[in-house]
């Protein structure tokens, strides 16, 4: 894959969010989780604003609150009889469902050097957005989270095969230097990116850059956090789809509008999906994580671009949660 200087992104997302979804995502949390706790509620707090540590030391741009998420709508706390894709356990409770995201890469520029951020997006959030990391060998993204997401992100340089080129300099209009041919321009260089993962509490995600291991995260890293009273957030088990897109964002490096060339192109040579021979799971509606009936029930939310919110525009209700509602 050959990247470009804008925001090139390749990711896998939970099917219930859908690449076509428009109505504020019918499932609002970016991770699958199956515990019934305060993390399923709006802002990760009970109506009395507890636990206290979920209201302090969070996002400095939002009053240091930890979370602005609306809560996990299709949670394990959902009351019987409410709208939920299932499945239902033998005790009558629902399996928690959500919309996880694993990023194969997001392209980043730092001092004219191309990097990729390879990450997982998680909710609910750890206290101060700090997950349980025990290694010092990986270079991590300085961004770890905000009121809408928590991120575990490793950084690594893209392929270092270089081509002679020019780029703007503070000392002169142009300065001679080297840009990575696998990152931008038309050097004809491709690099292989990917991730391997095993779902569940004892699972892992291993990211690769240029066909070599870049960094690995274990499920224990997203274990329970008693500071904010939340349970385990396992490596995603939801059926997932892939998105490859290209955009522009100042959050991933300065945008040089003066010299930017349009149309911009991200070249993709191939995409392959491998599965263990004893663990095949193909399709959008597996029996342990059904999705088809739920999507068809709310198909307008997935297809009408004029519906941008679940409650106000689409006029749907949020399923009752047994922690705060009468079931």
Find the range with the poorest average confidence among 161-165, 233-237, 312-316.
161-165
Query: Quick one: average pLDDT of 107-124?
Result: 87
CA 122/CA 99 separation, integer angstroms? 10
What value does the mean pLDDT of the chain take?
Answer: 84
CA 141/CA 145 separation, integer angstroms? 10
- The reported pLDDT for the residue numbered 107 is 85
CA 5/CA 182 separation, integer angstroms? 11
* pLDDT classification of 161: cutoffs 50, 70, 90: low
Q: Which domain holds residue 133?
A: 1-326
Count up the domains in the chain and report the number: 1
pLDDT at 271 over 90: yes
CA 272/CA 282 separation, integer angstroms? 13
pLDDT digits (tens, 9 = 90+) for 179-212: 567 777 667 788 899 999 999 999 999 999 999 9
CA 74/CA 97 separation, integer angstroms? 5
CA 125/CA 132 separation, integer angstroms? 12
* pLDDT classification of 171: cutoffs 50, 70, 90: very low
Query: Quick one: average pLDDT of 218-224?
Result: 95
Q: Pick the residue with more confidence: 186 or 222?
A: 222
Q: If phi over 0 gives left and psi between -120 and 50 gives alpha, with beta otherwise, what is residue 63?
A: left
pTM for the model stands at 0.87
Question: Can you state the percent helix, strand and coil of the chain, rounding each to 5?
Answer: 10, 30, 60
CA 265/CA 258 separation, integer angstroms? 17
- The reported pLDDT for the residue numbered 164 is 41
Residues in Cβ contact with 270 at an 8 Å cutoff, skipping those fewer than 6 apart: none
């Amino acid at each position: 894959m050959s990247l470009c200087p804008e925001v090139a992104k390749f990711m896998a997302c939970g099917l219930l969010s859908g690449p076509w979804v428009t109505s504020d995502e019918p499932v609002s949390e970016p991770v699958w989780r199956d515990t019934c706790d305060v993390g399923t509620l709006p802002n990760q707090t009970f109506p009395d604003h507890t636990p206290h540590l979920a209201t302090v030391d969070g996002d400095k741009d939002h009053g240091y609150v930890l979370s602005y998420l609306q809560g996990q709508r299709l949670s394990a706390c959902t009351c019987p009889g409410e709208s939920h894709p299932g499945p239902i356990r033998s005790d009558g409770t629902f399996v928690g469902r959500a919309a996880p995201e694993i990023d194969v890469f997001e392209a980043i520029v730092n001092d004219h050097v191309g990097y990729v951020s390879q990450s997982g997006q998680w909710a609910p959030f750890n206290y101060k957005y700090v997950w349980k990391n025990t290694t010092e060998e990986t270079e991590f993204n300085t961004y770890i989270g905000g009121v809408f997401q928590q991120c575990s992100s490793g950084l690594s340089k893209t392929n270092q095969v270089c081509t002679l080129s020019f780029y703007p300099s503070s000392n002169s209009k142009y300065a001679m230097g080297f840009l990575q041919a696998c990152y931008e321009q038309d050097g004809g260089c491709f690099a292989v990116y990917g991730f391997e993962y095993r779902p569940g509490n004892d699972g892992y995600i291993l990211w690769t850059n240029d066909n070599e291991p870049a960094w690995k995260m274990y499920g224990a890293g997203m274990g329970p956090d008693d500071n904010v009273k939340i349970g385990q957030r396992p490596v995603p088990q939801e059926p997932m789809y892939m998105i490859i897109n290209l955009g522009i964002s100042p959050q991933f490096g300065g945008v040089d509008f003066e010299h930017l060339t349009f149309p911009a192109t991200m070249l993709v040579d191939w995409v392959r999906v491998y599965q263990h021979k004893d663990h095949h799971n193909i399709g959008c509606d597996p029996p342990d994580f059904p999705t088809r009936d739920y999507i068809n029930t709310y198909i307008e939310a997935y297809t009408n671009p004029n519906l941008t919110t679940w409650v106000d525009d689409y006029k749907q209700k949020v399923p009752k949660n047994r922690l705060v509602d009468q079931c």
